[in-house]
Amino acid sequence: MQESHRVVGDLIARLDGPLHFRLIVQPSMAIIFAVIDGLKDAKAGKPAYFWALLTPAAHPEQLIKDGWKHVGKIFIIAIVLDLVYQLKVHSTVYPGEMLIVACVLAIVPYLVLRGPINRLARLWNKHE
């Protein structure tokens, strides 16, 4: 129980600690890539990204590879920046926290937005 309280406290402390600007920049970059890829998906007539990941007939391995190609750099940057943050604030490294932060800042915004952007673009193109 003590460990979970530390993790939650550490995650909340990132909101206004050193390097907090990355909490805006990294999701913004993931959103930009999601918009670009969602528009490309719509143009190619592909299904919504996250939905396609959950459908076994859609070759999820290829979809994951494609998504990772675009969001992987942002994920790695999130890992490195959180490493710097942890060393500066805690003088130690908590890998679990690092993965949570990187996923929340890079992967979640990408997954959440790529599919809806695709659908919105397809609707927009139907009305033109």
pLDDT in tens, 79-94: 998 899 889 888 999 9
Report how far residue 42's alpha carbon sits from residue 38's, in angstroms, rounded to the nearest whole number: 6
Residue 57 structural domain = 2-126
Helix 95-102 with 60-89: angle, nearest 10 deg: 120
Specify the pLDDT at position 42: 93
Mean per-residue pLDDT over the chain, rounded: 86
Specify the pLDDT at position 94: 92
The token pair that represents 109 in the structure block: 């915004």
Report how far residue 26's alpha carbon sits from residue 14's, in angstroms, rounded to the nearest whole number: 14
Confidence of residue 117 (pLDDT cuts 50, 70, 90): very high
- Taking alpha carbons only, the member of 44, 31, 20, 101 closest to residue 71 is 31
| pLDDT at 1 > cutoff 70 | no
pLDDT in tens, 29-74: 999 999 999 999 999 988 888 888 787 766 778 888 888 888 888 8
Q: How many domains does the chain have?
A: 1
